[in-house]
A and B are shown apart, each in its own frame.
Chain A
Amino acid sequence: MEEKLTLFKNRKRFGIEKNIDIIFKNTALVLSSFVAIILLGIILVVFFQSFESFSRYGLKFLVTSEWNPVKDEYGAFTAIYGTLVTSFLSLLITIPLGVGTAIFITEDFVPKVVREIIGSFVELLAAIPSVVLGLWAIFVMEPFFRAFFVFLHNFFGWIPLFSTEPTSRNSLLAILILVVMLLPIVTSIARDSLNQVPKKLRNAAYGIGASRWKTIFSVILPAALSGIMAGVLLALGRAMGETMAVTMIIGNSNAFSWSLLSPGYTISSMLANQFGEADGSQVSSLFYAAFVLMILSLVVNIFAQWLVKKFSLKY
């Protein structure tokens, strides 16, 4: 009798516990699906808010560069062009610098302690807020490069990219501050992928008489290429979405110009500048621009993830 009672009690407790267990599991399930809900929510909200502008201007929005709230004419070509040009050109500068630095850190040119200090220093810099970088760009970088820009214009003015007098806020400065922002990302990811290349590959190359740089170029870099590529794509996504530093230094002008030395615009800086005080169809057009930005960064990000998944298990 006594025994039966405790058993009965135990079973009862077990029942409550079972319920708590189920509730706990389902709560965790719901919380994890929040990610999907937020992601879909962002896409849907931005899409539906841009619908008015989308149905009025259609794809013409992407190729015209008039942005005139008074006449209700909207086209985001200048901003889209600016986004693509600043992000691609900054990557073009960042890739060799970042990969070169990563090679420097992973090879044994200097003692390990020094390399580790450099490595963690570079990673720490990824933590500096971009608004602070923007402040630094305005007050330190711009005066520093002013003479160089004048030189660029005077000697290479025949190239359309440098064809205007340099202004104190311009696209080239935005590109340079993006380089400072992207360097830590590219360097740390490139370093990780270089470190993951098995040591026996290197030893095999040395063993058949390859020199250090022959080994790096023909064995190590190709083996780490997918990881580096993924890092580069992530950096590209960051560059396209980067707002503060670029907004502060690019000049925010919707007048289209081929020259990098004149003020420009990016989608994110357009949003940062105009969203607060926009109304009517301007808001919808800004949402349209935000949608374009989101699609661009989604495509880049998904491609990066696909690349990682496809090539990460090679060794």
Chain B
Amino acid sequence: MNSLYYQKRLSRNIGDKFFTSLSVICALIAILPLIFLVTYILIKGGSQITPELFTLEPNPPGDDLDAGGINPALIGTLIITTIASIIAIPVGVGGGIYLAEYSKGGAFSRFIRFGVNVLAGVPSIIAGVFIYALIVSTKILFGSMYSGLAGGMALSILMLPTVIKTTDEGLKLVPNELRYASLGVGASMYTTILKVTLPSAFRSIATGIVLGIARAAGETAPLIFTALFSYYYITGFGDLFYEMGSLAVLIYNFALEPYDAQNKLAWAASFILVLSILSVNIFSRILAAFTEKTKRV
């Protein structure tokens, strides 16, 4: 009779309780530092935000009166990520189109898909080393060594696998009926891809690409010896061929300075970087959830 009821003292029930609390503890240990991290960055960095921050050049360290602003780094990050996107998006989308639409699962496409995964796992600093050897040390870009352009190229290597993967997977989700219908009314393959399959996969591909760009914007390792850093305003097109600052490298450089003013600037830059990356992530997540719901209906 008793055995029909839940018995607290049974060894299996005690064991269950023990492991349940263990997993709760694991979750707490895992999540608490992460919550601290985010709130600390938002509070500490947010308190440093002033209008001058966005308009001034950073002052060279040592001058411990005022650190200045992060204007060149902010613009530099935008420029470098734009260069990376200009390279990685066409190549990645094109490659993804080939994998999803043309390849028939043969050796070549399997090798490329494997290569995409391997390239995604290459440490980001190796991309910097590669571009250093290929472009910076050879001065192949019109005699300039460290440049924003080289930094953009290094970042594009990191973006490429993400873009290919999202394009490939986004296109594979497009139902085959759409392709048959388009080809059946006499459209050629490229019209079908450009007018039918790509537009219907557009949202998922765009989401993936935007997430890839957001990730690249925070990458530091490939930039520290390709784009280097600069304290000065970016004034014109020619500055692409010279050292260029970025938020990520600014944080790295100024975090290691012994001066408080520079450290505060690093916190402010982190705030801006983290806030923009997180909002892009949250926004695309909401968008993805929204599309999923509308599709089901």
Q: Is B215's CB under 8 angstroms from A39's CB?
A: no
Given A125-B37, A211-B16, A244-B252, A34 contacting B122 (CB threshold 8 A): no
A88 to B129, CA, bound (A): 24
| B interface secondary structure, majority | helix
Nearest B residue to A210 by beta-carbon distance? B12
Q: Is A28's CB under 8 angstroms from B112's CB?
A: no
Nearest B residue to A248 by beta-carbon distance? B255
Q: In the assembled complex, which residues on chain B have CB atoms less than 8 Å from the CB atom of A27?
A: 94
A291 to B177, CA, bound (A): 47
B71 vs chain A, min Cβ distance (A): 19
Nearest B residue to A31 by beta-carbon distance? B94
A131 to B272, CA, bound (A): 13
Q: Is A120's CB under 8 angstroms from B285's CB?
A: yes
**Which one of A53-61, A95-103, A196-204, A256-264 contacts B?**
A95-103
Q: In the assembled complex, which residues on chain B have CB atoms less than 8 Å from the CB atom of A211?
A: 12-13, 15-16
**Which one of B50-58, B231-239, B273-281 contacts A?**
B273-281
Q: Is B125's CB under 8 angstroms from A268's CB?
A: yes
A211 to B7, CA, bound (A): 13
Given A100-B26, A101-B27, A20 contacting B164 (CB threshold 8 A): no
Q: Is B123's CB under 8 angstroms from A297's CB?
A: yes
A131 to B160, CA, bound (A): 21
A212 to B251, CA, bound (A): 47
Q: Is B29's CB under 8 angstroms from A135's CB?
A: no
A222 to B251, CA, bound (A): 43
A294 to B122, CA, bound (A): 7
Kindly identify which residue among A99, A180, A268, A305 contacts B37, using a CB–CB cutoff of 8 Å.
A180
A54 to B221, CA, bound (A): 24
**Which one of A41-49, A62-70, A148-156 contacts B?**
A41-49
For the A-B complex, the count of residue pairs with Cβ-Cβ distances under 8 Å equals: 266
Given A45-B134, A272-B224, A305-B114, A241 contacting B98 (CB threshold 8 A): no
In the complex, whether B99 has a CB less than 8 A from a CB of chain A is yes
B168 vs chain A, min Cβ distance (A): 9
Nearest A residue to B13 by beta-carbon distance? A211
**Which one of B59-67, B200-208, B262-270 contacts A?**
B262-270
Q: Is B125's CB under 8 angstroms from A271's CB?
A: yes
Q: Is B218's CB under 8 angstroms from A34's CB?
A: no
Q: In the assembled complex, which residues on chain B have CB atoms less than 8 Å from the CB atom of A133?
A: 37
Given A29-B102, A96-B26, A241 contacting B122 (CB threshold 8 A): yes
Nearest B residue to A42 by beta-carbon distance? B130
Nearest A residue to B95 by beta-carbon distance? A32
Q: Is A127's CB under 8 angstroms from B281's CB?
A: yes
Q: Is B91's CB under 8 angstroms from A31's CB?
A: yes
Residues 170-193 of chain A, each 1 if its beta carbon lies under 8 Å from chain B, else 0:
000000000010011001000000
Q: In the assembled complex, which residues on chain A have CB atoms less than 8 Å from the CB atom of B94?
A: 27-28, 30-32
Residues 186-220 of chain B, each 1 if its beta carbon lies under 8 Å from chain A, else 0:
00111101000000000000000001001101111
In the complex, whether B90 has a CB less than 8 A from a CB of chain A is yes
Q: Is B130's CB under 8 angstroms from A118's CB?
A: no
Residues 82-110 of chain A, each 1 if its beta carbon lies under 8 Å from chain B, else 0:
00000000000000111111011101010
A57 vs chain B, min Cβ distance (A): 19
In the complex, whether B47 has a CB less than 8 A from a CB of chain A is no
Q: Is B23's CB under 8 angstroms from A104's CB?
A: yes
Q: Is A121's CB under 8 angstroms from B31's CB?
A: yes
Q: In the assembled complex, which residues on chain B have CB atoms less than 8 Å from the CB atom of A21?
A: 188-190
Q: Is B31's CB under 8 angstroms from A127's CB?
A: no
Q: Is A35's CB under 8 angstroms from B123's CB?
A: no
In the complex, whether A287 has a CB less than 8 A from a CB of chain B is yes
Given A29-B98, A31-B98, A131-B220, A100 contacting B91 (CB threshold 8 A): no
Q: In the assembled complex, which residues on chain A have CB atoms less than 8 Å from the CB atom of B31?
A: 101, 118, 121-122
A70 to B15, CA, bound (A): 62
Q: Is B91's CB under 8 angstroms from A290's CB?
A: no
List residues of A (147-170) whose CB comes within 8 Å of B's CBs.
none
B171 vs chain A, min Cβ distance (A): 11
In the complex, whether A208 has a CB less than 8 A from a CB of chain B is no
A9 to B93, CA, bound (A): 34
A293 to B221, CA, bound (A): 14
Q: In the assembled complex, which residues on chain A have CB atoms less than 8 Å from the CB atom of B91?
A: 31, 34
Q: Is A100's CB under 8 angstroms from B23's CB?
A: yes
In the complex, whether B161 has a CB less than 8 A from a CB of chain A is yes
A104 to B27, CA, bound (A): 7
What are 18 pairs between A and B in contact, CB < 8 Å? A29-B98, A34-B160, A35-B164, A39-B115, A46-B129, A101-B23, A122-B30, A122-B31, A122-B34, A125-B37, A130-B218, A134-B251, A243-B221, A271-B128, A275-B224, A276-B225, A287-B133, A293-B125
Interface residues of A (CB under 8 A from B): 17-18, 20-21, 24-25, 27-36, 38-39, 41-42, 45-46, 49, 96-101, 103-105, 107, 109, 118, 120-122, 124-125, 127-136, 138-140, 180, 183-184, 187, 211-214, 216, 234, 237-238, 240-244, 248, 268, 271-272, 275-276, 283, 286-287, 290, 293-294, 297-298, 300-302, 304-305
Interface residues of B (CB under 8 A from A): 12-13, 15-16, 19-20, 22-27, 29-31, 33-38, 40-41, 90-92, 94-99, 101-103, 109, 111-112, 114-119, 121-130, 132-134, 137, 157, 160-161, 164, 188-191, 193, 211, 214-215, 217-221, 224-225, 228, 248, 251-252, 255-256, 263, 266-267, 270, 273-274, 277-278, 281-282, 285
